[in-house]
Amino acid sequence: MVAFLVLASPARAQSLLRDAETERFLHDISRPIFEAAGLDPRAISFYLVGDPSINAFVAGGQNIFINTGLILQADNVNELIGVIAHETGHIAGGHLIRHDDAAAKAGNISILSLLVGVAAMAAGGGDAGMAAMMAGQSLAQGNYLAYSRSVEAVTDQAGAEFLEKSGISGEGLISFFRKLQEMEFRYGYTQDAYIRTHPLTGDRIEKLQERVSASPHYAKPPKAEDQTRFLRIKAKLAGYINEPPRTFQLYPETDTSMPARLARAYAWHKLAHREEAEAEVDALLAQKPDDPYFLEMKGQILLESGKVEEAIVPLRRSVQIQPNEPLIATSLGHALVAMENPDLAREAVTILRRVVTQDPENPFAWFQLGMAYTQLGDEARAALASAERLSLQYNANPAEVAYHAHRAVSGLPKNTPEWLRAQDILLIAQEAARNGRGKGRRRG
C-alpha cells in the first residue's frame, strides 16, 4: 500500500506499520520531550502498531509503540505529545527493569504459596493447603497491581514535568485522559481501584489538572506547524486504515484541504482508481512541488499500479530532496529492481546498500537488495541479503538462515567485511538450530 510498509508482529495480533513521514514527525515533535528527560533522542525508536484501541506503551528498551487508534482519535498534536511525554517517563524512570523485578517478586510469592499449599495438602490438610495457595496468589497479585498503579501515578507527573520544561501545554494530556475515561464508562471497565494496573482515570485527571494548570504554558495552543503536520499524518492513516466509503465520508470531495486530498488519494488507490488517486496527489504537488512525501506517494501509486518506469521519476526526486529517508529510498530501489535492467539493478544496489546501513532492520530493503544482486548474477551477495532478511524474522527457521549464510560464506572473498558478517550469521543460526529455537533479532 502507498507509503506504509507493513511488518508482521507475531508477539501481538497486530501489524507494525512504517511510513517515512510519520516516523520523522514523531521524532521531531518528541525531541524537546526527550531532551527535557535527559535522554538521547537518537537512541529512541518509534513503532506504529496497527491497532484501533487508544493506547501506547514502551517495550524492549527505549522503544515507544503507538497504536493507530490513538492517532486517529486524537484531536490535536498536543494530545499525542502528552502521551509521548507519559511514555518517556517510563523510559527515564527505568520502569521496564523495575517492572521485571516486581513481576519476579510476585512470582516468588506465588511459588512459595504453592509449595506451602502442596505441603499442607500432602499432610492431609486439603482445605488449609488450598487456602494457602489462594491467599498467596491474591497477595502476589495485589502487590504487583499496587506497584503498577504507583508507577503510573509517578509517570503521569514526570510527563507533566517534561511538558513544562519543553514549553508545551499539558492540556493535551488531560484531554487524552478524558477520552480514556469516556471509553471506560462506555464499555463498563471496572472502577475498583484495587484490581487495576493503572490508577482510576478520574483520579489521574484530578491530580494532573492541578499540576498542569499551574504551568505558565497551560493556555499555549499547539504549534501551528506541528498541528498542520499532525493533520496530514492523521489523514494519511485514516485513508490507509479505513474502508474507502468511510474515508469519503470523513473527507468529502468538497474538502480540498491537504489532509483531505491525502486521505482520498489512499481511498482511490485502494479502489484501484489510479487516475483519481494520481489527480489528488497532483493537486497536492501543484501547491508543494518539492514536498518529498507527496512525490513519494505519487511514485508509490504509479509503482503499485504497474507504471514502474513512470514511478522512478518522482521517487528519484523525492530521494534527492530527502536523502536521509531510507523508506523512500527503499521504494526507489524497488522500482529500479522491478525494471529488470542490469544498469538499473546496479543503481539499486548502490541505493539499497545505503538503506540497509541506515535502517538494517528493514526486511523489505534486504529482499530488494537480494533481488538486485540476483539480476547481476552475484549469487553470494544475494544469499547474504537473504540471510540478513530471514534473520530479522521472529521464529525464523535457523536451518534456512544457515543455508543462505553458508552459500554467502562459500562465495564471498575471505576475510572481507561481508564474508565476516556471513560467518557471524552462520554461527548464530547453527547455534539456534542446535538449541532447537528460532532466531530473530528485532527490537521490541
| Domain total in the chain | 2
pLDDT tens string 27-66: 999 999 999 999 999 999 999 999 998 889 998 889 999 9
Query: Per mean pLDDT, which range of 13-17, 338-342, 411-415 is the poorest?
Result: 13-17
Cα(385)–Cα(391) distance, integer angstroms: 10
Within a domain: 259 = no
Within a domain: 271 = no
Which three cell numbers, joined as nine digits, stand for 380? 553470494
**Chain Cα centroid distance, residue 230:** 16
Cell 504497474: give the residue.
306
- Helix residue ranges, H only, 359-440: 363-375, 379-391, 398-411, 417-434
Its pTM stands at: 0.81
pLDDT tens string 136-156: 444 434 443 343 446 677 888
Cα(292)–Cα(322) distance, integer angstroms: 6
pLDDT tens string 318-331: 999 999 999 999 99
Region 207-232 average pLDDT: 92
Would you call 248 helix, strand, or coil by DSSP?
helix
Cα(155)–Cα(11) distance, integer angstroms: 25
Within a domain: 139 = yes
Cα(2)–Cα(311) distance, integer angstroms: 12
Which three cell numbers, joined as nine digits, stand for 214? 499551574
Within a domain: 183 = yes
Within a domain: 162 = yes
The one-character DSSP state at 193 is G
Cell 527515564: give the residue.
92
pLDDT tens string 359-405: 999 999 999 999 999 999 999 999 999 999 999 987 889 999 999 99
Q: What is the reported pLDDT for 3?
A: 53
The residue among 224, 248, 272 that closes a domain is 224
- Helix residue ranges, H only, 213-339: 224-241, 244-250, 258-270, 274-287, 292-304, 308-321, 326-338
Which three cell numbers, joined as nine digits, stand for 248? 469519503
**Cβ pair 115, 107 in contact under 8 A:** no
Cα(365)–Cα(326) distance, integer angstroms: 9
Q: Is 105's pLDDT higher than 50?
A: no
Q: Which amino acid type is present at position 271?
A: L
The residue among 224, 249, 266 that closes a domain is 224
Cα(11)–Cα(31) distance, integer angstroms: 28
Q: What is the reported pLDDT for 37?
A: 96
326-338 and 308-321 helices, crossing angle to 10°? 150
Q: In what order do the strands lie in the sheet with 56-58?
A: 5-8, 15-18, 45-49, 63-67, 56-58
**Cβ pair 419, 443 in contact under 8 A:** no
77-92 and 126-165 helices, crossing angle to 10°? 120
* Confidence band, pLDDT 50/70/90 cuts, at residue 178: confident
Q: What is each CA distance from 258 to 281, 294, 374, 392, in whole angstroms?
A: 9, 10, 41, 36
The residue among 163, 189, 224 that closes a domain is 224
Cα(386)–Cα(107) distance, integer angstroms: 41
Within a domain: 173 = yes
Q: How many CB atoms lie within 10 A of CB 134?
A: 12
**Cβ pair 291, 228 in contact under 8 A:** no
Domain ranges, residue 62: 5-100+124-224
> Quick one: CA dihedral 299, 304, 307, 308, positive or negative?
positive
CATH number of the domain residue 55 falls in: 3.30.2010.10
Which three cell numbers, joined as nine digits, stand for 188? 463498563
Cα(388)–Cα(432) distance, integer angstroms: 15
Within a domain: 373 = no
Q: What is the reported pLDDT for 192?
A: 43
**Chain Cα centroid distance, residue 29:** 16
